[in-house]
Amino acid sequence: SAVAYGLEAPFEIEYHDSIDSTNRRARELATDGRSDVAVLADEQTGGRGRLDRAWASPSGGVWLSLALRPGVPIAHAPAFTLAAAVAVTRAAREAGVDARIKWPNDVVVGDDERKLAGVLTEVEGEADRVDWVVVGIGSNVNVDPAALPDEADATSVQDAVGPVDRRAFTQRLLEEFDALRRDLDAVVPAWRADATTLGKRVRVETPGGTVEGEAVDVSFPGALVVDTGEERVTITAGDCEHLR
């Protein structure tokens, strides 16, 4: 329970010392009709990123997935991804880490933009109303970066400022997320304030091809607007690279 984990959280907490994937478990709960449950684990043995990529999840991180049934149109679901990125960024800044958001879902630190956290949102339902949304948030908190894959260009809160109280970090993250999910119109302005992508030259690999230009804005519920010099392209999904 929330109390057993020592959290006064706005979500019911299901805690696991070790689990394959908190997203997998949260999907199971959401499919069963449960909502406002946060599945939390010290370690994941089969953590997943986008496009079925592996997400390294050693003990000491904050691996958590929220099962939600918000009753919004499916097109609004990306706002939950942005809200999660803002929530992690605020929790990290509270812990003393200068974290910034790289569109759409990476939380990065430093000029070399090492990845501190990632968000994986999964949705099921009808166009005008989702059945459920699962928001998975993986934060490298008290993790030795040596325990993360070399090619991941990862960092952790521990690497930046030393080990922190994971309960306080998680509490802050959940409170920030809770406030934003109740006020989705506040998500994009909050995201803009914490972003590192805006104003940068970017190359975005989208399902429809590569787009290169200046990232000029993010529009609700989370699309990136890129000015190619010839036109403004609105991108709803893709992998974004910051060009120097």
Binding site for ligand BTX (CB under 6 A): 21-23, 44, 47-51, 53, 55-57, 63-65, 115, 118-120, 136-138, 140, 148-149, 151-152, 154
**Looking at beta carbons only, is 139 or 171 nearer to ligand BTX?**
139
**Looking at beta carbons only, is 12 or 227 nearer to ligand BTX?**
12
**Looking at beta carbons only, is 65 or 171 nearer to ligand BTX?**
65
Task: Report, in Å, the least distance between residue 229 CB and ligand BTX.
Answer: 28
**Looking at beta carbons only, is 56 or 75 nearer to ligand BTX?**
56
Task: Report, in Å, the least distance between residue 193 CB and ligand BTX.
Answer: 22
Task: Report, in Å, the least distance between residue 88 CB and ligand BTX.
Answer: 11
**Looking at beta carbons only, is 49 or 73 nearer to ligand BTX?**
49
Task: Report, in Å, the least distance between residue 230 CB and ligand BTX.
Answer: 29
Three-state SS for the chain is CCCCCCCCCCCEEEEEEEECCHHHHHHHHHHCCCCCEEEEEEEECCCECHHHCECCCCCCCEEEEEEECCCCCHHHCHHHHHHHHHHHHHHHHHCCCCEEEECCCEEEECCCCEEEEEEEEEEEEECCEEEEEEEEEEECCCCCHHHCCHHHCECCHHHHHCCCCHHHHHHHHHHHHHHHHCCHHHHHHHHHHHECCCCCEEEEEECCEEEEEEEEEEECCCEEEEECCCCEEEECCCEEEEEC
**Looking at beta carbons only, is 48 or 172 nearer to ligand BTX?**
48
83 phi and psi angles, rounded to 5 deg: -60, -40
Task: Report, in Å, the least distance between residue 231 CB and ligand BTX.
Answer: 27
Residue with nearest beta carbon to ligand BTX: 49
Task: Report, in Å, the least distance between residue 173 CB and ligand BTX.
Answer: 12
